[in-house]
């Protein structure tokens, strides 16, 4: 696979600090071709503490990509049953790695909070594609979408109070948008001793775009607006793709979005 990637992030029209953090890594491997990983985190906490939480998570994934991903691809030191010679598949191995990684990140953020007598945390969405297969990890209410054949598909499921109420039939999506509880999360890295990420797997094909975004991006855009902008921009250069993503962020600011706004566009070719 080949990729074009771009990132747009902005502190928005109200907040003094951008507590979102983003990263995209691309690597060429001998055994699996090109690999892409994107990570987006929406930090929360007073002063600059949310920025610390999101940056801590990004740093953890960046280090993992360099030091541990090569072992996952070769499945060295993988845990396997003694009664079988078959090793876990690559995505299972990466999922095991990410479970350990997010627990370590969670502990690091908890220690920082204890040392500085503050509460902080971050959402995390992480996406990786290897040989046409993808794995997503989600904690919180940042999202991953795919745009394929002019269709927008939400690949993650928000871990939030309002989404839980929607799932139980206690609230509509329109009511959730207006609810004062819309920013309350059920899961957050750094807020408690236990983190239970959502994992999603699937196949991805050339011509697909992956959109990773914080809630400041997805709340005030319609499905049609996202699809039209992404389908049009993926045919452009990376520089022009970024301009189009920046334009979407500017539109959200014009609509009064008060949160930090961040998005990653990964165009798979």
- pLDDT in single tens digits along all 269 residues of the chain: 899 999 999 999 999 999 999 999 999 998 899 999 999 999 998 656 899 999 999 999 999 999 999 989 987 655 554 444 455 689 999 999 999 999 999 999 999 999 999 999 999 999 999 999 999 999 999 999 999 999 999 999 999 999 999 999 999 988 988 898 888 999 999 999 999 999 999 999 999 999 999 999 999 999 999 999 999 999 999 999 999 999 999 999 999 999 999 999 999 99
Query: Which contiguous run of DSSP H or E holds residue 151?
Result: strand 151-154
Q: Which domains does the chain have, with CATH numbers?
A: 3-268 (3.60.40.10)
220 touches 177 (CB < 8 A): no
128 touches 95 (CB < 8 A): no
pLDDT value of residue 174 = 86
Helix, strand or coil, per DSSP, at residue 125? strand
pLDDT value of residue 82 = 43
pLDDT value of residue 210 = 98
What residues pair up with 156 in beta bridges, in sequence order? Answer: none
Which candidate, 204, 199, 201, places its Cα nearest to that of 148? 204
pLDDT value of residue 113 = 94
pLDDT value of residue 88 = 63
CA 80 to chain centroid, in Å, comes to: 29
What residues pair up with 53 in beta bridges, in sequence order? Answer: none
What residues pair up with 266 in beta bridges, in sequence order? Answer: 5, 210
pLDDT value of residue 183 = 82
Which residues, including other chains, have CB under 8 Å from residue 217's CB and lie 6 or more apart?
A: 248, 249, 252, 261, 262, 263
Residue in this structure with the two tokens 């999202």, named with its chain if needed: 143
CA dist., res. 58 & res. 25, Å (int): 11
Which candidate, 71, 70, 197, places its Cα nearest to that of 127? 197
28 touches 109 (CB < 8 A): no
Q: Is the pTM of this model over 0.85?
A: yes
124 touches 140 (CB < 8 A): yes
Which candidate, 156, 157, 159, 163, places its Cα nearest to that of 177? 163
Output the CA angle 181-183-184, nearest 5 degrees: 70
For strand 198-203 and strand 143-148, is the pairing parallel, antiparallel, or unpaired? unpaired
CA dist., res. 13 & res. 68, Å (int): 39
21 touches 55 (CB < 8 A): yes
| Number of other residues whose CB lies within 10 A of the CB of residue 168 | 8
């Amino acid at each position: 696979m080949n990729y074009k990637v771009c990132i747009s992030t902005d502190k928005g029209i109200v907040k003094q600090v951008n507590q979102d953090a983003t990263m995209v890594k691309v690597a060429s491997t001998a055994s699996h071709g090109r690999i892409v990983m994107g990570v987006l985190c929406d930090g929360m906490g007073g002063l600059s503490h949310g920025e610390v939480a999101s940056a801590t998570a990004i740093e953890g994934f960046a280090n993992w990509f360099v030091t541990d991903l090569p072992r996952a691809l070769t499945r060295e030191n993988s845990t396997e049953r003694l009664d079988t010679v078959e090793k876990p598949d690559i995505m299972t191995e990466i999922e095991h790695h990410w479970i350990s990684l997010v627990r370590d990140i969670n502990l690091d953020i908890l220690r920082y909070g204890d040392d500085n007598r503050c509460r902080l945390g971050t959402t995390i969405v992480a996406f990786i594609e290897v040989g046409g297969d993808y794995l997503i990890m989600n904690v919180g209410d940042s999202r991953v979408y795919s745009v394929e054949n002019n269709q927008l598909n939400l690949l993650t499921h928000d871990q939030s109070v309002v989404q839980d109420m929607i799932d139980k039939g206690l609230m509509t999506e329109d009511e959730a948008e207006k609810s004062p509880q819309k920013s309350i999360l059920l899961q957050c890295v750094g807020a408690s001793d236990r983190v239970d990420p959502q994992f999603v797997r699937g196949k991805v094909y050339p011509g697909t775009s992956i959109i990773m975004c914080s809630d400041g991006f997805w709340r005030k855009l319609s499905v049609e607006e996202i699809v039209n902008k992404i389908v049009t921009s993926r045919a452009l250069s990376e520089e022009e793709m970024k301009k189009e993503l920046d334009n979407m962020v500017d539109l959200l600011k014009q609509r009064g979005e008060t949160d930090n706004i961040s998005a990653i566009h990964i165009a798979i070719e």
